[in-house]
Amino acid sequence: MSSKELADETILAGGLGFMDDSYRGVIPGVYPSTTYERAEDNSYPSGKIYTRDHNPNYQQPEAVLAALEHGEQAMLFSSGMAAATSVIMALKPGDHIVVPKVIYWSFRNWLQTYASDWGIETTFVDNGDLSELKAAIKPGKTKLLWLETPANPTWVVDDIAAWADIAREVGARLAVDNTVATPLLCNPLDLGADIVMHSATKYLNGHSDVLAGALVTKVVDDHWHRMANIRASGGAVLGPFEAWLLMRGMRTLAVRVKQASNNALAFAKAIETHPKIHAVMYPGLESSAGHRIAKKQMKGAYGGMLSIRVRGGESAAIACAAKLAIFKRATSLGGIESLVEHRASVEGEGTPCPADLLRLSIGIEDVNDLINDMKQALEGS
C-alpha cells in the first residue's frame, strides 16, 4: 500500500516500515558515523559520503513528514529557526516578503534585524486583513508570503487558502509555519501553500527533549534545492541521535495531539466564565474570532495551545502563574506536560502581546486536574 492510502495514525505508528537492515530489528539504529567508505572502483555504494550532506537517520522522519504533509520531500534541520531562516536565506537580495504581525516572536525579530541587513525587505500586515495583504504586495518583488496559524501567542487564525490565492496571483510562494496545528490538524499544502515549516521541537517530538526543525515542499523546485544547499553547506544539520529521538517521539504524535486538543477544548470551556478570567483565546471556542476559518481549514480539532487574559492586569497574571502547581512556568510548547508562560515578559518592548496574557501549552494530563489547578491559582492569587 502506498502511504497515500494510509491514515496518519498508521503512518506514524508503523513509521512507514523502516527497519534495521543488519538484524531485522523493527526499529532502525542510530548511525553516528560522520563519513562513508568508497568502494574500490571509487564509487560510494550507499550513496552517502559525509554526514553534513546526508545521515541515514534523516530518511525515516523525512519520509514520514512528507507523507503526513502530502508533500514531495521533507528536510530536517537543527532547529525550527534554522528551517525558517533557510526559507528566507534562499531568496535573493531585493526580494520582498509579507508576514502577519502576530507570529513566533524570535522569527519576527530575525526578519526585522538580519533579513533586512541582507537586503530582504519585510512588510508586516495585520493578521486577518486580506486587503492590507494585497496592498502590501510589490509586483515583481514580492517573492514569499509567510503565515503562521494559529499564531503565537494570541492564536488568531489566518485563511491559508485565501493567502495561497494571492500568492499565486502575484507569482510568490506561500510558506506556512504549521508547528502549532501539526499535520494531524491542518495540511497547508492541500490548501495551496508551497512550503510547510515545523519547529519539530514542539509537537512532532513532543517530549521537550529534542531541538529540531523541518521543511516540507509541495514540489521539488529550484527554491528547494537552494534550501537543501543552505542546510548542507551552512551546516544547520540535526545530529543522528536527535533525528532518531525525534522519530521515536513522532510515533505517538497522533494520540498526543488528540489528547492535548480534547484537553484544551474542555479546559477553555471550563474556565471561560470564571470571574477572574477576562478572555480565553482558543480557536476551538465558537465564540472566538478565528473559529469560522479554523473550522474550515483544520481537521475537526484545534490543538493544545491557548492563552488566557487574567482580570487585574500584568501583576494578577504573574501571580496566577506563580500559584499553578501542575503547569510548569517555562517557555516552549507541544510537550506532554502542561506549561504556562507570561509572554509579555519574554517578548519585551514592542510586543503585540497584552500584559495580562498567560500562554498555556496544554499537555496530556487528566484535564480535571488541569482545570482544578487553574481554578485554585486564580482564586488564591
Ligand X SMILES: *Cc1c(COP(=O)(O)O)cnc(C)c1O
Q: Which is nearer to ligand X, 15 or 213 (CB)?
A: 213
- Within a 13 Å sphere around the CA of 150, how many CA atoms are in the beta-carbon half? 28
Q: Which is nearer to ligand X, 107 or 244 (CB)?
A: 107
How far, in Å, CA of 175 to CA of 18, rounded? 29
Minimum CB separation of residue 359 from ligand X in Å reads: 10
- Is 52 labeled as catalytic in the residue annotation? yes
Residue in 8, 31, 95, 104 annotated catalytic:
104
CA distances from 131 to 97, 122, 136, 168 (A): 16, 17, 9, 16
How far, in Å, CA of 297 to CA of 193, rounded? 12
CB 68 within 8 A of CB 74: no
How far, in Å, CA of 301 to CA of 257, rounded? 9
Angle, to 10 degrees, between the axis of helix 367-380 and the axis of helix 253-271? 40
Minimum CB separation of residue 151 from ligand X in Å reads: 8
Residue in 36, 48, 52, 248 annotated catalytic:
52
How far, in Å, CA of 256 to CA of 259, rounded? 5
How far, in Å, CA of 211 to CA of 205, rounded? 9
Minimum CB separation of residue 159 from ligand X in Å reads: 18
Q: Which is nearer to ligand X, 208 or 381 (CB)?
A: 208
DSSP assignment letter at 330: -
Residue in 95, 158, 177, 356 annotated catalytic:
177
CA distances from 186 to 78, 160, 217, 298 (A): 23, 10, 15, 5
Q: Which is nearer to ligand X, 213 or 303 (CB)?
A: 213
Residues interacting with ligand X, by CB under 6 A? 79-81, 104, 107, 148, 152, 177, 179-180, 199, 201-202, 211, 213, 333
DSSP assignment letter at 320: H
Q: Which residue is nearest to ligand X (CB)?
A: 80
Minimum CB separation of residue 106 from ligand X in Å reads: 6
Q: How do beta strands 357-361 and 121-125 pair?
A: unpaired
Residue in 143, 173, 202, 231 annotated catalytic:
202
Q: Which is nearer to ligand X, 113 or 273 (CB)?
A: 113
* Phi and psi angles of residue 28, each rounded to the nearest 5 degrees, phi first: -60, 150
SS (H, E, C) 187-239: CHHHHCCCEEEEECCCCCCCCCCCCCEEEEECCCCHHHHHHHHHHHHHCCCCC
Q: Which residue has the cell 496518519?
A: 8
How far, in Å, CA of 302 to CA of 53, rounded? 36
Minimum CB separation of residue 124 from ligand X in Å reads: 16
- Is 177 labeled as catalytic in the residue annotation? yes
Minimum CB separation of residue 337 from ligand X in Å reads: 16
DSSP assignment letter at 314: H
Minimum CB separation of residue 333 from ligand X in Å reads: 6
Q: Which is nearer to ligand X, 202 or 218 (CB)?
A: 202
- Is 58 labeled as catalytic in the residue annotation? no
Q: Which residue has the cell 541582507?
A: 118
Minimum CB separation of residue 2 from ligand X in Å reads: 31
Q: Which is nearer to ligand X, 90 or 197 (CB)?
A: 197
- Is 24 labeled as catalytic in the residue annotation? no
| Region at 355 (left for phi over 0; alpha for psi -120 to 50; beta for the rest) | alpha
Q: Which is nearer to ligand X, 8 or 177 (CB)?
A: 177
* Catalytic sites, residue numbers: 52, 104, 177, 202
